[in-house]
């Protein structure tokens, strides 16, 4: 979907295009960061054998992915 949007962006005002691309980039970076933090917390829950935290975090990870 993002590729289709990027391909059609040559018809958009360059300033608006840059703003949209920056927003897409930042959203992806925030998603990657959040996913990374959740994975770290999942590792920690496994290490501590905390089943409740593990189950909660895996559900949270599904919503981020």
Tens-digit pLDDT profile for residues 1-59: 556 666 666 677 888 989 999 999 999 999 999 999 999 999 999 999 999 999 999 99
Q: What's residue 9's pLDDT?
A: 64
DSSP-derived secondary structure letter, 48: T
Q: If pLDDT is split at 50, 70 and 90, which confidence band does 65 have?
A: confident
Q: Distance between CA 8 and CA 59 in Å, rounded?
A: 35
Is the distance from CB of 58 to CB of 42 less than 8 angstroms? yes
Cα angle 43-46-51, degrees, rounded to a multiple of 5: 130
Number of Cβ atoms within 10 Å of the Cβ of 6:
13
Q: What is the pLDDT of residue 21?
A: 94
> Which DSSP state fits 10?
G
């Amino acid at each position: 979907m993002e590729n289709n949007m990027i391909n059609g962006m040559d018809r958009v005002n360059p300033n608006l295009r840059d703003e949209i691309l920056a927003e897409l980039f930042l959203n992806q970076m925030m998603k990657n960061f959040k996913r990374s933090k959740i994975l770290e917390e999942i590792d920690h829950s496994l290490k501590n054998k905390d089943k409740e935290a593990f189950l909660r975090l895996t559900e949270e990870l599904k919503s981020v992915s």
